[in-house]
Amino acid sequence: MSNHEQHENTHGPVKRNGMSRRQFLSYTLGGAGAFMAAGMSLPMIRFAVDPILQKKAAGTWIKVVEESKLTNEPQEFKFKIHQVDGWYVSDPELTAWISKDDQGKAFALSPVCKHLGCTIGWNTEKNEEYVCPCHGAHYTKDGKNLVVAPKPLDEYDLKIENNWVYLGPIKANTRV
- Chain positions contacting ligand FES, by CB under 6 A: 113, 115-118, 132, 134-137, 148-149
When the beta carbons of 33 and 136 are compared against ligand FES, the nearer one is: 136
When the beta carbons of 106 and 118 are compared against ligand FES, the nearer one is: 118
- Minimum distance, C-beta of residue 124 to ligand FES, in the bound complex (Å): 12
User: Alpha-carbon distance 28 to 34, whole Å?
Assistant: 10
When the beta carbons of 94 and 134 are compared against ligand FES, the nearer one is: 134
Q: Is 45 exposed, middle or buried (0-12, 13-18, 19+ CB in 10 A)?
A: exposed
When the beta carbons of 114 and 141 are compared against ligand FES, the nearer one is: 114
Report how far Cα 21 is from the mean position of its chain's Cα atoms: 55
- Minimum distance, C-beta of residue 119 to ligand FES, in the bound complex (Å): 8
When the beta carbons of 115 and 141 are compared against ligand FES, the nearer one is: 115
- Minimum distance, C-beta of residue 115 to ligand FES, in the bound complex (Å): 3
- Minimum distance, C-beta of residue 135 to ligand FES, in the bound complex (Å): 3
Positive or negative: CA dihedral 71, 74, 78, 80 = positive
Q: Which residues contact 113 (CB under 8 A, 6 or more apart)?
A: 119, 120, 132, 134, 137, 149, 153
- Minimum distance, C-beta of residue 166 to ligand FES, in the bound complex (Å): 28
Contact 111, 76 (CB under 8 A): yes
In Å, how far are 21, 118, 171 from 159, measured between CA atoms? 74, 27, 14
The H or E element that residue 140 is part of is: none
Distinct helix (H) and strand (E) counts, the chain: 2, 12
